[in-house]
Amino acid sequence: MSIQWFPGHMTRARRQIQDKLKLIDVAIELLDARIPLSSRNPMIDEILQQKPRLVLLNKSDLADPEATRRWIEYFAEKGLEAVPIDAVGGNPSREIIQRSKQLLSAKIEAQLRKGMKPRTMRGLIVGIPNVGKSTLINKMAGRKIAATGDKPGVTKGQQWIKVGTEMELLDTPGILWPKFEDQTVGFRLAATGAIKEEILDTAEIALFAMRYLVAHYPVALKERFGVEKLPEDPSDTDAVVELMEEVGRKRGALISGGRVDLEKASLAILRELRAGKLGRVTMELPEGEPAVQSLEG
């Protein structure tokens, strides 16, 4: 599978962000806590240059807490402060404002020494599609301002949004990059819902997810889908496809003759994974994961 996706509005968004940088005090980079590096645009350092940056690990309620702890340590070693948040069920506004103030403390103190009143902080929220930017902005603003949706690509333009009296946020469309050199990154993004299902081979993505679950979350896999035996080798394609078919039978994904509709079974697996029905699952660790073969492999 080769995923290449760089719509024209993303090219424009990158230019618009760079044009607005001189107005920005702090960049707020939103990542998916389940796949922090894979959900991180590798062009972001180039785009944001040397702006102070706060990393938010969103959807932490769906991620493995031990893995999240390791990711916080990983980013700290890179000189970046990472904070786990839940933009849907939590209220991270106060912490984001306080952490942003800490990042800008030297600048604020210099202004106070000169007798200047520090102006409202201006923050830039960036992240790939469907990582939760609009949901976070609405939560911080205390009202629905930014459009939200469960599919990537909802935000199309830029807008300034006031957060109380202390901060203004610039929302931006999600930006992916022209090509995934590491196809495993594409699989992770697809498994967690960051890429539109219409452009994917759903069975391949579900195969990737099931292989990972067999290797890292076998108990959760057995309990959720009611299966007793798992493949001994997650790289055994035939055995994992048989497991997917077993799940399909349990979910009623059947066609004529009692055969399993692998497409429907795959959709059921992915939707339950994305919704957290298998518990708190992180699909990427700081040390990385081995490459994944395709369904035909």
pLDDT of residue 289: 54
Q: How far apart are CA 277 and CA 61, in angstroms?
A: 12
DSSP β-bridge partners for residue 163: 167
pLDDT tens figures, 3-45 = 554 555 556 667 777 778 888 999 999 999 999 999 998 778 8
pLDDT tens figures, 72-91 = 999 999 999 999 999 988 88
* pTM of the predicted model over 0.75: yes
By CB atoms closer than 10 A (0-12, 13-18, 19+), residue 251 is middle
Domain limits, the chain: 8-171, 201-274
What tokens appear for 243 in the block? 């497991």
Q: Does domain 201-274 have CATH number 1.10.1580.10?
A: yes
pLDDT of residue 259: 94
Q: How far apart are CA 56 and CA 36, in angstroms?
A: 10
- Biggest CA–CA distance in the chain, Å, is 81
Q: How far apart are CA 231 and CA 245, in angstroms?
A: 13
By CB atoms closer than 10 A (0-12, 13-18, 19+), residue 102 is middle
pLDDT of residue 191: 94
Side-chain half-sphere of 75: how many Cα atoms within 13 Å? Answer: 21
User: Could you say which DSSP state residue 255 is in?
Assistant: -
Residue indicated by tokens 């490459």: 291
What tokens appear for 199 in the block? 């452009």
pLDDT of residue 156: 45
DSSP β-bridge partners for residue 123: 26, 169
- φ/ψ (deg, to 5) at 84: -75, 135
Going by C-alpha positions, the residue among 125, 195, 172, 178 that lies closest to residue 13 is 172
What Å distances lie between residue 28 and 36, 109, 137, 215, CA to CA? 14, 21, 11, 33
Q: How far apart are CA 264 and CA 273, in angstroms?
A: 14
What tokens appear for 91 in the block? 């209220």
Terminal-to-terminal C-alpha distance of the chain: 11
pLDDT-flagged residues of the chain (< 70) = 1-13, 146-158, 172-181, 197-199, 288-297
pLDDT of residue 100: 93
| Dihedral of the alpha carbons of 59, 175, 158, 148, in degrees to the nearest 10 | -40
Helix (H, G, I), strand (E, B) or coil at 146: coil
Q: How far apart are CA 60 and CA 47, in angstroms?
A: 26
Please report, as a single letter, which amino acid is at residue 118: P
What tokens appear for 177 in the block? 């990059």
pLDDT of residue 154: 39
Domain with residues 8-171, CATH architecture: 3-Layer(aba) Sandwich (3.40)
Q: How far apart are CA 137 and CA 163, in angstroms?
A: 8
Q: How far apart are CA 175 and CA 11, in angstroms?
A: 8
